[in-house]
Structure 1
Amino acid sequence: MTAAVPVCLTIGSSDSSGGAGIQGDIKAFASVGCYAATVLVGITAQNTSGVTGRWSVPVEAVTAQLRAVRADLPIAAVKVGTTWSPELLAALAPELAGFAARGVPVVVDPVMVTAAGSWLSADTDVTKAVIRDLFPSSVVITPNRREAGLLAGRDGSRRELAETIAGLGAPTVVITPGPGESGDWFFDGERHAQLTSERHDNAAEHGVGCAHSALTAGLLAHGRPLDLAVREAGARAAAGVRAGLGHLGARVHPVDVLGLVRRVPPVEGQAVGR
Protein backbone atom coordinates (compact mmCIF):
# COMPACT_ATOMS: atom_id res chain seq x y z
CA MET A 1 0.00 0.00 0.00
CA THR A 2 1.27 3.46 -0.90
CA ALA A 3 2.01 5.63 2.13
CA ALA A 4 -0.47 8.46 2.63
CA VAL A 5 0.73 11.84 1.38
CA PRO A 6 0.12 14.59 3.97
CA VAL A 7 -2.18 17.37 2.81
CA CYS A 8 -1.10 20.95 3.59
CA LEU A 9 -3.41 23.92 3.17
CA THR A 10 -2.06 27.35 2.32
CA ILE A 11 -4.23 30.44 2.78
CA GLY A 12 -2.76 33.45 1.05
CA SER A 13 -2.31 35.54 -2.06
CA SER A 14 -0.98 34.87 -5.52
CA ASP A 15 2.34 36.02 -6.96
CA SER A 16 2.07 36.53 -10.71
CA SER A 17 5.82 35.92 -11.09
CA GLY A 18 5.52 32.53 -9.38
CA GLY A 19 8.30 32.86 -6.83
CA ALA A 20 6.37 33.63 -3.65
CA GLY A 21 2.82 33.52 -2.33
CA ILE A 22 0.52 30.62 -3.11
CA GLN A 23 2.68 29.53 -6.06
CA GLY A 24 5.80 29.41 -3.91
CA ASP A 25 3.97 27.51 -1.17
CA ILE A 26 2.82 24.80 -3.58
CA LYS A 27 6.42 24.18 -4.62
CA ALA A 28 7.65 24.20 -1.03
CA PHE A 29 5.02 21.66 0.01
CA ALA A 30 5.91 19.45 -2.95
CA SER A 31 9.60 19.60 -2.05
CA VAL A 32 8.89 17.84 1.27
CA GLY A 33 6.43 15.33 -0.15
CA CYS A 34 3.15 17.04 0.70
CA TYR A 35 -0.01 17.59 -1.35
CA ALA A 36 -1.01 21.26 -1.58
CA ALA A 37 -4.53 22.60 -1.16
CA THR A 38 -5.05 26.33 -1.56
CA VAL A 39 -7.40 29.09 -0.47
CA LEU A 40 -6.83 32.30 -2.41
CA VAL A 41 -7.52 35.50 -0.47
CA GLY A 42 -5.86 38.03 -2.75
CA ILE A 43 -4.26 38.61 -6.13
CA THR A 44 -1.06 40.58 -6.66
CA ALA A 45 0.58 41.95 -9.77
CA GLN A 46 4.25 41.55 -8.94
CA ASN A 47 7.61 40.47 -10.22
CA THR A 48 11.15 40.34 -8.88
CA SER A 49 11.28 44.15 -8.76
CA GLY A 50 8.20 44.68 -6.61
CA VAL A 51 4.41 44.77 -6.32
CA THR A 52 2.47 47.00 -8.71
CA GLY A 53 -1.08 46.09 -7.73
CA ARG A 54 -3.21 44.01 -5.40
CA TRP A 55 -6.86 42.97 -5.20
CA SER A 56 -8.83 41.20 -2.49
CA VAL A 57 -10.98 38.12 -3.04
CA PRO A 58 -14.47 38.59 -1.50
CA VAL A 59 -14.70 37.19 2.02
CA GLU A 60 -17.59 34.88 1.09
CA ALA A 61 -15.47 33.39 -1.71
CA VAL A 62 -12.61 32.80 0.73
CA THR A 63 -14.79 31.02 3.28
CA ALA A 64 -16.44 28.96 0.52
CA GLN A 65 -13.02 27.77 -0.68
CA LEU A 66 -11.97 26.94 2.85
CA ARG A 67 -15.10 24.96 3.68
CA ALA A 68 -14.95 23.04 0.40
CA VAL A 69 -11.37 21.96 1.10
CA ARG A 70 -12.03 21.17 4.75
CA ALA A 71 -15.06 19.02 3.90
CA ASP A 72 -13.16 16.78 1.49
CA LEU A 73 -9.46 16.64 2.35
CA PRO A 74 -7.66 15.45 5.51
CA ILE A 75 -5.68 18.61 6.27
CA ALA A 76 -2.51 17.80 8.23
CA ALA A 77 -1.13 21.36 8.54
CA VAL A 78 -2.15 24.91 7.64
CA LYS A 79 -0.07 27.89 6.60
CA VAL A 80 -1.53 31.40 6.61
CA GLY A 81 0.34 33.94 4.50
CA THR A 82 -0.62 37.36 3.13
CA THR A 83 -3.92 38.62 4.54
CA TRP A 84 -4.34 42.39 4.36
CA SER A 85 -8.02 42.74 5.36
CA PRO A 86 -9.28 42.90 8.98
CA GLU A 87 -12.69 41.66 7.78
CA LEU A 88 -11.08 38.60 6.20
CA LEU A 89 -9.00 37.89 9.30
CA ALA A 90 -12.14 38.02 11.45
CA ALA A 91 -13.80 35.49 9.13
CA LEU A 92 -10.77 33.20 9.21
CA ALA A 93 -10.49 33.18 13.01
CA PRO A 94 -13.23 30.57 13.76
CA GLU A 95 -12.11 28.38 10.86
CA LEU A 96 -8.53 28.33 12.13
CA ALA A 97 -9.73 27.73 15.68
CA GLY A 98 -11.50 24.64 14.37
CA PHE A 99 -8.28 23.30 12.87
CA ALA A 100 -6.37 24.03 16.07
CA ALA A 101 -9.03 22.28 18.19
CA ARG A 102 -8.50 19.14 16.09
CA GLY A 103 -4.74 19.27 16.65
CA VAL A 104 -3.89 20.55 13.16
CA PRO A 105 -0.82 22.83 13.40
CA VAL A 106 -1.31 26.35 12.03
CA VAL A 107 1.77 28.28 10.89
CA VAL A 108 1.26 32.05 10.55
CA ASP A 109 3.57 34.00 8.25
CA PRO A 110 2.37 37.62 8.57
CA VAL A 111 3.57 38.74 5.14
CA MET A 112 3.63 42.54 5.13
CA VAL A 113 6.71 43.30 3.04
CA THR A 114 8.22 41.46 0.06
CA ALA A 115 11.87 40.56 -0.49
CA ALA A 116 12.03 43.40 -3.03
CA GLY A 117 10.91 45.84 -0.33
CA SER A 118 7.29 46.39 -1.42
CA TRP A 119 4.91 46.85 1.49
CA LEU A 120 1.75 44.76 1.20
CA SER A 121 0.33 46.00 4.49
CA ALA A 122 1.57 48.29 7.23
CA ASP A 123 -1.96 49.11 8.42
CA THR A 124 -2.30 49.23 12.20
CA ASP A 125 -5.78 47.68 12.01
CA VAL A 126 -4.40 44.71 10.06
CA THR A 127 -1.58 44.25 12.55
CA LYS A 128 -4.05 44.26 15.44
CA ALA A 129 -6.28 41.79 13.58
CA VAL A 130 -3.38 39.41 12.95
CA ILE A 131 -2.63 39.40 16.68
CA ARG A 132 -6.29 39.06 17.68
CA ASP A 133 -7.48 36.55 15.06
CA LEU A 134 -4.44 34.47 14.07
CA PHE A 135 -2.20 34.23 17.13
CA PRO A 136 -4.64 32.17 19.28
CA SER A 137 -4.81 29.29 16.77
CA SER A 138 -1.15 29.25 15.74
CA VAL A 139 1.72 27.04 16.81
CA VAL A 140 4.36 29.42 15.44
CA ILE A 141 4.59 32.95 13.98
CA THR A 142 7.32 33.51 11.36
CA PRO A 143 7.80 37.25 10.64
CA ASN A 144 10.84 38.73 9.00
CA ARG A 145 12.79 41.42 10.82
CA ARG A 146 10.65 44.35 9.64
CA GLU A 147 7.36 42.51 10.16
CA ALA A 148 8.43 41.61 13.70
CA GLY A 149 8.91 45.31 14.42
CA LEU A 150 5.40 46.08 13.17
CA LEU A 151 3.84 43.31 15.26
CA ALA A 152 5.78 44.36 18.35
CA GLY A 153 5.03 48.04 17.78
CA ARG A 154 8.66 48.89 18.49
CA ASP A 155 12.21 48.47 17.32
CA GLY A 156 14.81 46.38 19.11
CA SER A 157 16.94 43.28 18.87
CA ARG A 158 15.38 40.07 17.62
CA ARG A 159 15.49 38.73 21.18
CA GLU A 160 13.53 41.75 22.42
CA LEU A 161 11.05 41.62 19.54
CA ALA A 162 10.47 37.89 20.00
CA GLU A 163 9.71 38.37 23.69
CA THR A 164 7.30 41.22 22.94
CA ILE A 165 5.47 39.19 20.26
CA ALA A 166 5.27 36.19 22.58
CA GLY A 167 3.75 38.47 25.19
CA LEU A 168 1.00 39.29 22.68
CA GLY A 169 -0.03 35.64 22.54
CA ALA A 170 2.26 33.94 20.03
CA PRO A 171 3.21 30.49 21.41
CA THR A 172 6.48 30.33 19.43
CA VAL A 173 8.18 33.06 17.41
CA VAL A 174 10.72 32.56 14.63
CA ILE A 175 12.17 35.81 13.27
CA THR A 176 14.06 35.46 10.02
CA PRO A 177 17.23 37.55 9.58
CA GLY A 178 17.46 41.15 8.50
CA PRO A 179 20.44 42.99 6.97
CA GLY A 180 23.68 42.02 8.69
CA GLU A 181 22.04 39.18 10.62
CA SER A 182 22.35 35.45 10.04
CA GLY A 183 20.19 32.51 11.00
CA ASP A 184 16.67 32.48 12.40
CA TRP A 185 15.86 33.62 15.93
CA PHE A 186 13.73 31.06 17.81
CA PHE A 187 11.78 31.75 21.00
CA ASP A 188 9.17 29.41 22.48
CA GLY A 189 8.35 31.46 25.54
CA GLU A 190 11.20 29.91 27.52
CA ARG A 191 14.14 29.18 25.26
CA HIS A 192 15.95 31.62 23.00
CA ALA A 193 18.10 30.16 20.22
CA GLN A 194 19.83 31.58 17.17
CA LEU A 195 19.59 28.88 14.55
CA THR A 196 22.58 28.74 12.24
CA SER A 197 22.12 28.45 8.49
CA GLU A 198 24.04 29.31 5.36
CA ARG A 199 23.75 32.87 4.07
CA HIS A 200 24.19 33.51 0.36
CA ASP A 201 24.63 36.90 -1.28
CA ASN A 202 23.35 35.88 -4.71
CA ALA A 203 20.21 38.10 -4.73
CA ALA A 204 18.00 34.99 -5.05
CA GLU A 205 15.68 35.56 -2.10
CA HIS A 206 12.34 36.18 -3.79
CA GLY A 207 9.97 33.82 -1.97
CA VAL A 208 12.40 32.71 0.74
CA GLY A 209 10.13 33.76 3.61
CA CYS A 210 7.11 32.06 2.05
CA ALA A 211 9.19 28.95 1.46
CA HIS A 212 10.43 28.93 5.05
CA SER A 213 6.94 29.00 6.58
CA ALA A 214 5.47 26.56 4.05
CA LEU A 215 8.36 24.14 4.64
CA THR A 216 7.73 24.42 8.38
CA ALA A 217 4.07 23.50 7.85
CA GLY A 218 5.01 20.64 5.53
CA LEU A 219 7.47 19.18 8.00
CA LEU A 220 4.94 19.50 10.82
CA ALA A 221 2.48 17.60 8.62
CA HIS A 222 5.01 14.77 8.55
CA GLY A 223 5.07 14.73 12.36
CA ARG A 224 8.33 16.59 13.02
CA PRO A 225 8.55 18.28 16.43
CA LEU A 226 8.22 22.05 16.06
CA ASP A 227 11.81 22.95 16.95
CA LEU A 228 13.21 20.40 14.49
CA ALA A 229 10.73 21.43 11.79
CA VAL A 230 11.79 25.08 12.13
CA ARG A 231 15.48 24.19 12.03
CA GLU A 232 15.11 21.96 8.96
CA ALA A 233 12.88 24.49 7.20
CA GLY A 234 15.55 27.16 7.66
CA ALA A 235 18.22 24.88 6.23
CA ARG A 236 16.04 23.96 3.25
CA ALA A 237 15.12 27.59 2.59
CA ALA A 238 18.82 28.54 2.67
CA ALA A 239 19.55 25.74 0.20
CA GLY A 240 16.80 27.16 -2.01
CA VAL A 241 18.57 30.52 -2.00
CA ARG A 242 21.88 28.84 -2.83
CA ALA A 243 20.22 27.06 -5.78
CA GLY A 244 18.36 30.27 -6.67
CA LEU A 245 17.27 30.95 -10.22
CA GLY A 246 19.64 33.84 -10.87
CA HIS A 247 18.80 33.91 -14.57
CA LEU A 248 15.18 34.83 -13.84
CA GLY A 249 14.04 38.36 -13.11
CA ALA A 250 15.73 41.73 -13.06
CA ARG A 251 16.20 42.23 -9.34
CA VAL A 252 15.52 39.79 -6.46
CA HIS A 253 15.70 36.42 -8.19
CA PRO A 254 13.45 33.50 -7.15
CA VAL A 255 14.52 30.81 -4.72
CA ASP A 256 14.48 27.23 -6.01
CA VAL A 257 13.21 24.96 -3.24
CA LEU A 258 12.54 22.10 -5.62
CA GLY A 259 16.06 21.96 -7.00
CA LEU A 260 15.05 18.96 -9.08
CA VAL A 261 13.56 20.54 -12.17
CA ARG A 262 16.30 20.94 -14.69
CA ARG A 263 16.56 21.01 -18.47
CA VAL A 264 14.79 17.97 -19.88
CA PRO A 265 17.05 16.09 -22.32
CA PRO A 266 15.67 15.56 -25.82
CA VAL A 267 14.00 12.23 -26.52
CA GLU A 268 15.82 10.21 -29.14
CA GLY A 269 13.92 8.57 -31.97
CA GLN A 270 11.09 9.31 -34.31
CA ALA A 271 8.16 11.49 -33.30
CA VAL A 272 4.85 9.75 -32.65
CA GLY A 273 2.68 9.42 -35.74
CA ARG A 274 5.46 9.95 -38.27
Structure 2
Amino acid sequence: MVARALTIAGSDSGGGAGIQADLKAFSAMGVYAASVVTAVTAQNTTAVTAIHPIPDGVVAAQIKAVLNDIDIDAIKIGMLGTPSLIAAVADALAGYDGPVVLDPVMVAKSGDTLLADHAINALKSSLFGRATLLTPNLPEAAKLVGAGSTQSQAAALLEHGVGAVLMKGGHADGETCTDHLVSQTGTQEFSAPRVNTPNTHGTGCSYSSAIAAGLAQGMALSDAVSRAHRWLHQAILHADDLHVGQGHGPVHHFHAFWK
Protein backbone atom coordinates (compact mmCIF):
# COMPACT_ATOMS: atom_id res chain seq x y z
CA MET A 1 0.00 0.00 0.00
CA VAL A 2 1.27 3.48 -0.87
CA ALA A 3 1.85 5.70 2.16
CA ARG A 4 -0.24 8.85 2.44
CA ALA A 5 0.87 12.21 3.81
CA LEU A 6 -0.92 15.51 4.36
CA THR A 7 0.56 18.98 4.15
CA ILE A 8 -1.08 21.92 5.93
CA ALA A 9 0.59 25.01 4.49
CA GLY A 10 0.36 28.17 2.42
CA SER A 11 0.37 28.29 -1.37
CA ASP A 12 3.32 29.69 -3.33
CA SER A 13 2.16 30.88 -6.74
CA GLY A 14 5.75 30.60 -8.02
CA GLY A 15 5.72 26.88 -7.24
CA GLY A 16 9.04 26.74 -5.40
CA ALA A 17 8.03 26.71 -1.74
CA GLY A 18 4.95 26.23 0.43
CA ILE A 19 2.34 23.66 -0.39
CA GLN A 20 3.60 23.24 -3.96
CA ALA A 21 7.06 22.26 -2.69
CA ASP A 22 5.48 19.91 -0.14
CA LEU A 23 3.45 18.10 -2.79
CA LYS A 24 6.53 17.75 -5.00
CA ALA A 25 8.62 16.40 -2.12
CA PHE A 26 5.95 13.87 -1.13
CA SER A 27 5.70 12.73 -4.73
CA ALA A 28 9.46 12.49 -5.19
CA MET A 29 9.59 10.25 -2.10
CA GLY A 30 6.87 7.97 -3.51
CA VAL A 31 4.11 9.07 -1.14
CA TYR A 32 0.51 9.99 -1.98
CA ALA A 33 0.02 13.70 -1.24
CA ALA A 34 -3.04 15.39 0.24
CA SER A 35 -3.17 19.10 1.04
CA VAL A 36 -4.84 21.77 3.16
CA VAL A 37 -4.30 25.37 2.03
CA THR A 38 -3.89 27.90 4.87
CA ALA A 39 -3.15 31.00 2.80
CA VAL A 40 -2.80 32.11 -0.80
CA THR A 41 0.32 34.16 -1.49
CA ALA A 42 1.21 36.20 -4.55
CA GLN A 43 4.83 35.10 -4.69
CA ASN A 44 7.71 34.50 -7.07
CA THR A 45 11.45 33.99 -6.71
CA THR A 46 12.03 37.63 -5.74
CA ALA A 47 9.22 38.66 -3.39
CA VAL A 48 5.91 38.00 -1.67
CA THR A 49 3.62 40.77 -2.88
CA ALA A 50 0.33 39.75 -1.25
CA ILE A 51 -1.01 37.29 1.33
CA HIS A 52 -4.64 36.24 1.59
CA PRO A 53 -5.33 34.06 4.65
CA ILE A 54 -7.92 31.31 4.23
CA PRO A 55 -10.65 31.61 6.91
CA ASP A 56 -9.94 29.49 9.97
CA GLY A 57 -13.16 27.52 9.57
CA VAL A 58 -12.37 26.65 5.97
CA VAL A 59 -8.90 25.41 6.96
CA ALA A 60 -10.41 23.28 9.73
CA ALA A 61 -13.01 21.95 7.31
CA GLN A 62 -10.29 20.93 4.84
CA ILE A 63 -8.44 19.03 7.58
CA LYS A 64 -11.58 17.25 8.73
CA ALA A 65 -12.58 16.38 5.17
CA VAL A 66 -9.22 14.72 4.53
CA LEU A 67 -8.92 12.92 7.87
CA ASN A 68 -12.51 11.69 7.79
CA ASP A 69 -11.90 9.89 4.50
CA ILE A 70 -8.20 9.19 4.01
CA ASP A 71 -5.94 7.25 6.39
CA ILE A 72 -3.13 9.76 6.67
CA ASP A 73 0.20 8.25 7.77
CA ALA A 74 1.99 11.52 8.58
CA ILE A 75 1.32 15.25 8.57
CA LYS A 76 3.60 18.17 7.76
CA ILE A 77 2.57 21.63 9.01
CA GLY A 78 4.02 24.77 7.47
CA MET A 79 2.75 28.36 7.21
CA LEU A 80 -0.03 29.21 9.66
CA GLY A 81 0.29 32.94 10.31
CA THR A 82 -2.14 33.87 13.08
CA PRO A 83 -2.96 32.70 16.63
CA SER A 84 -6.56 31.91 15.70
CA LEU A 85 -5.51 29.76 12.76
CA ILE A 86 -2.96 27.93 14.90
CA ALA A 87 -5.71 27.18 17.43
CA ALA A 88 -8.08 26.02 14.69
CA VAL A 89 -5.47 23.63 13.26
CA ALA A 90 -4.66 22.26 16.71
CA ASP A 91 -8.36 21.63 17.39
CA ALA A 92 -8.87 19.94 14.01
CA LEU A 93 -5.94 17.60 14.70
CA ALA A 94 -7.11 16.67 18.20
CA GLY A 95 -8.07 13.13 17.18
CA TYR A 96 -5.05 12.45 14.99
CA ASP A 97 -2.36 10.24 16.56
CA GLY A 98 0.18 9.88 13.73
CA PRO A 99 3.55 11.63 13.39
CA VAL A 100 3.57 15.38 12.79
CA VAL A 101 6.48 17.39 11.37
CA LEU A 102 6.15 21.07 12.27
CA ASP A 103 8.15 23.55 10.18
CA PRO A 104 7.90 26.95 11.95
CA VAL A 105 7.68 29.01 8.76
CA MET A 106 8.36 32.62 9.71
CA VAL A 107 10.17 34.36 6.85
CA ALA A 108 10.20 33.70 3.11
CA LYS A 109 13.49 33.36 1.22
CA SER A 110 12.86 36.88 -0.08
CA GLY A 111 12.82 38.20 3.50
CA ASP A 112 9.06 38.74 3.71
CA THR A 113 7.41 37.91 7.06
CA LEU A 114 5.01 34.94 7.02
CA LEU A 115 4.37 34.49 10.76
CA ALA A 116 3.44 37.48 12.92
CA ASP A 117 5.51 37.88 16.09
CA HIS A 118 2.40 37.71 18.26
CA ALA A 119 1.60 34.26 16.85
CA ILE A 120 4.84 32.67 18.10
CA ASN A 121 3.51 32.01 21.61
CA ALA A 122 0.39 30.43 20.14
CA LEU A 123 2.55 28.12 18.05
CA LYS A 124 4.48 27.07 21.15
CA SER A 125 1.46 26.50 23.35
CA SER A 126 -0.88 24.87 20.81
CA LEU A 127 1.30 22.79 18.48
CA PHE A 128 4.76 22.17 19.95
CA GLY A 129 3.44 19.44 22.23
CA ARG A 130 1.89 17.72 19.22
CA ALA A 131 5.04 17.76 17.07
CA THR A 132 7.04 14.60 16.53
CA LEU A 133 9.71 16.82 14.98
CA LEU A 134 10.29 20.58 14.85
CA THR A 135 12.49 21.82 11.97
CA PRO A 136 13.71 25.39 12.61
CA ASN A 137 16.55 27.08 10.80
CA LEU A 138 18.92 29.17 12.90
CA PRO A 139 17.03 32.52 12.60
CA GLU A 140 13.75 30.75 13.44
CA ALA A 141 15.29 29.06 16.47
CA ALA A 142 16.52 32.44 17.70
CA LYS A 143 13.04 33.95 17.34
CA LEU A 144 11.51 31.00 19.18
CA VAL A 145 13.85 30.75 22.17
CA GLY A 146 16.42 33.54 21.87
CA ALA A 147 20.11 33.52 21.03
CA GLY A 148 22.39 30.71 22.13
CA SER A 149 24.29 27.67 20.99
CA THR A 150 22.66 25.01 18.87
CA GLN A 151 22.49 22.65 21.83
CA SER A 152 21.06 25.23 24.24
CA GLN A 153 18.42 26.33 21.74
CA ALA A 154 17.47 22.71 21.01
CA ALA A 155 17.24 21.97 24.74
CA ALA A 156 14.96 24.97 25.22
CA LEU A 157 12.73 23.82 22.37
CA LEU A 158 12.52 20.30 23.80
CA GLU A 159 11.34 21.81 27.08
CA HIS A 160 8.32 23.13 25.17
CA GLY A 161 7.23 19.56 24.50
CA VAL A 162 8.36 18.72 20.98
CA GLY A 163 9.49 15.14 20.48
CA ALA A 164 12.70 16.07 18.67
CA VAL A 165 14.29 19.10 17.01
CA LEU A 166 16.18 19.28 13.73
CA MET A 167 18.40 22.35 13.98
CA LYS A 168 19.14 23.18 10.35
CA GLY A 169 22.52 24.70 9.59
CA GLY A 170 21.86 26.28 6.22
CA HIS A 171 22.24 29.81 7.60
CA ALA A 172 25.57 29.09 9.31
CA ASP A 173 28.98 29.84 7.81
CA GLY A 174 31.61 27.46 6.53
CA GLU A 175 32.17 25.07 3.67
CA THR A 176 30.18 22.31 5.36
CA CYS A 177 26.49 22.55 6.25
CA THR A 178 25.57 20.51 9.35
CA ASP A 179 22.11 19.79 10.71
CA HIS A 180 21.65 18.52 14.27
CA LEU A 181 18.83 16.12 15.17
CA VAL A 182 18.35 16.52 18.92
CA SER A 183 16.07 14.47 21.15
CA GLN A 184 16.01 13.37 24.78
CA THR A 185 18.21 10.41 23.83
CA GLY A 186 21.02 12.38 22.20
CA THR A 187 22.21 14.23 19.09
CA GLN A 188 22.94 13.08 15.55
CA GLU A 189 24.69 15.16 12.92
CA PHE A 190 23.98 15.23 9.17
CA SER A 191 26.58 17.06 7.10
CA ALA A 192 27.12 17.87 3.44
CA PRO A 193 29.35 20.27 1.47
CA ARG A 194 27.75 23.69 1.15
CA VAL A 195 26.54 24.32 -2.40
CA ASN A 196 27.33 27.71 -3.92
CA THR A 197 23.99 28.59 -5.52
CA PRO A 198 21.32 31.26 -5.02
CA ASN A 199 18.66 28.72 -5.97
CA THR A 200 17.55 27.48 -2.57
CA HIS A 201 13.93 28.62 -2.55
CA GLY A 202 11.78 26.06 -0.77
CA THR A 203 14.57 24.15 0.98
CA GLY A 204 12.90 24.24 4.40
CA CYS A 205 9.47 23.23 3.13
CA SER A 206 10.90 20.47 0.97
CA TYR A 207 13.17 19.09 3.71
CA SER A 208 10.42 18.84 6.32
CA SER A 209 8.04 17.27 3.80
CA ALA A 210 10.63 14.69 2.73
CA ILE A 211 11.08 13.77 6.39
CA ALA A 212 7.32 13.50 6.87
CA ALA A 213 7.20 11.22 3.83
CA GLY A 214 9.72 8.91 5.45
CA LEU A 215 7.70 8.81 8.66
CA ALA A 216 4.57 8.05 6.62
CA GLN A 217 6.42 5.09 5.11
CA GLY A 218 7.23 3.75 8.57
CA MET A 219 10.87 4.82 8.77
CA ALA A 220 12.51 5.62 12.09
CA LEU A 221 12.97 9.37 12.60
CA SER A 222 16.76 9.31 12.20
CA ASP A 223 16.45 7.26 8.99
CA ALA A 224 13.79 9.59 7.61
CA VAL A 225 16.01 12.61 8.32
CA SER A 226 19.06 10.91 6.80
CA ARG A 227 17.27 10.04 3.55
CA ALA A 228 15.67 13.50 3.31
CA HIS A 229 19.04 15.14 3.94
CA ARG A 230 20.69 13.21 1.10
CA TRP A 231 17.79 13.91 -1.24
CA LEU A 232 17.72 17.64 -0.48
CA HIS A 233 21.46 17.96 -1.03
CA GLN A 234 21.02 16.52 -4.51
CA ALA A 235 17.98 18.76 -5.11
CA ILE A 236 20.15 21.79 -4.31
CA LEU A 237 23.05 20.50 -6.42
CA HIS A 238 20.71 20.28 -9.42
CA ALA A 239 18.78 23.49 -8.70
CA ASP A 240 20.72 25.48 -11.29
CA ASP A 241 19.47 23.12 -14.01
CA LEU A 242 15.95 24.55 -13.73
CA HIS A 243 16.56 28.23 -14.68
CA VAL A 244 13.37 29.38 -12.93
CA GLY A 245 12.90 33.06 -12.08
CA GLN A 246 15.22 36.00 -11.53
CA GLY A 247 15.77 35.69 -7.77
CA HIS A 248 16.15 32.70 -5.49
CA GLY A 249 15.11 29.86 -7.77
CA PRO A 250 13.65 26.59 -6.48
CA VAL A 251 15.47 23.37 -5.70
CA HIS A 252 15.03 20.51 -8.15
CA HIS A 253 12.61 18.13 -6.44
CA PHE A 254 12.64 15.63 -9.31
CA HIS A 255 16.38 15.58 -10.01
CA ALA A 256 16.33 11.77 -9.94
CA PHE A 257 13.70 11.62 -12.67
CA TRP A 258 14.41 14.39 -15.18
CA LYS A 259 16.78 17.28 -15.92
Letter in 2 for 1:41: T
Q: Is the 8 A contact 1:136 1:169 kept in 2?
A: yes
Letter in 2 for 1:175: M
Letter in 2 for 1:135: F
For residue 149 of structure 1, what is the aligned residue in structure 2? 142
Shift of 1:193: 2.7
User: Which residue, out of 247, 251, 256, partners 1:255?
Assistant: 251
Instruction: Give the Cα–Cα distance (whole angstroms) in 1 for the partners of residues 161 and 144 of structure 2.
Output: 11
For residue 135 of structure 1, what is the aligned residue in structure 2? 128
Instruction: Give the Cα–Cα distance (whole angstroms) in 1 for the partners of residues 178 and 92 of structure 2.
Output: 33
Count of aligned pairs between the two proteins: 255
Q: How do residues 170-209 of structure 1 correspond to structure 2 at under 5 angstroms?
A: 170-177=162-169, 178-180=171-173, 182-209=177-204
User: Which residue, out of 34, 39, 45, partners 1:37?
Assistant: 34
SS of aligned partner of 1:186:
strand
| Structure 1: gaps (5+ residues) | 264-274
Shift of 1:121: 1.9
**Are residues 1:230 and 2:228 paired?**
no
Instruction: Give the Cα–Cα distance (whole angstroms) in 1 for the partners of residues 230 and 168 of structure 2.
Output: 12
Instruction: Give the Cα–Cα distance (whole angstroms) in 1 for the partners of residues 65 and 249 of structure 2.
Output: 35
Shift of 1:146: 0.7
Q: Is the 8 A contact 1:43 1:54 kept in 2?
A: yes
Shift of 1:115: 2.2
For residue 159 of structure 2, what is the aligned residue in structure 1? 167
Q: Is the 8 A contact 2:103 2:136 kept in 1?
A: yes
Shift of 1:260: 4.6
| Runs of 4+ with deviation above 3 angstroms | 260-263
Instruction: Tell me the TM-score normalized by structure 2.
Output: 0.94
Shift of 1:261: 5.3
User: Which residue, out of 19, 22, 26, partners 1:22?
Assistant: 19
Query: Which digits, 9 at most, give the CA deviation of each residue in 1:93-147, with x for residues without a partner?
Result: 13323212xxx10100010012232221241x21111111111111000011111
Instruction: Give the Cα–Cα distance (whole angstroms) in 1 for the partners of residues 111 and 152 of structure 2.
Output: 23
Q: Is the 8 A contact 1:174 1:185 kept in 2?
A: yes
Query: Which digits, 9 at most, give the CA deviation of each residue in 1:159-209, with x for residues without a partner?
Result: 221111111212200011113151211110231232112321111210010
Shift of 1:78: 0.3
Letter in 2 for 1:202: T
Paired-residue identity, %: 36
Instruction: Give the Cα–Cα distance (whole angstroms) in 1 for the partners of residues 15 and 194 of structure 2.
Output: 23
| Structure 1 stretch displaced more, 17-26 or 238-247 | 238-247
For residue 111 of structure 1, what is the aligned residue in structure 2? 105
Letter in 2 for 1:117: G
Query: Which digits, 9 at most, give the CA deviation of each residue in 1:57-102, with x for residues without a partner?
Result: 00111111111111111101000000001101111113323212xx
| Structure 2: gaps (5+ residues) | none
Query: Which digits, 9 at most, give the CA deviation of each residue in 1:187-233, with x for residues without a partner?
Result: 10231232112321111210010000000000111111011111211
For residue 85 of structure 1, what is the aligned residue in structure 2? 82
Aligned Cα root-mean-square deviation (Å): 1.4
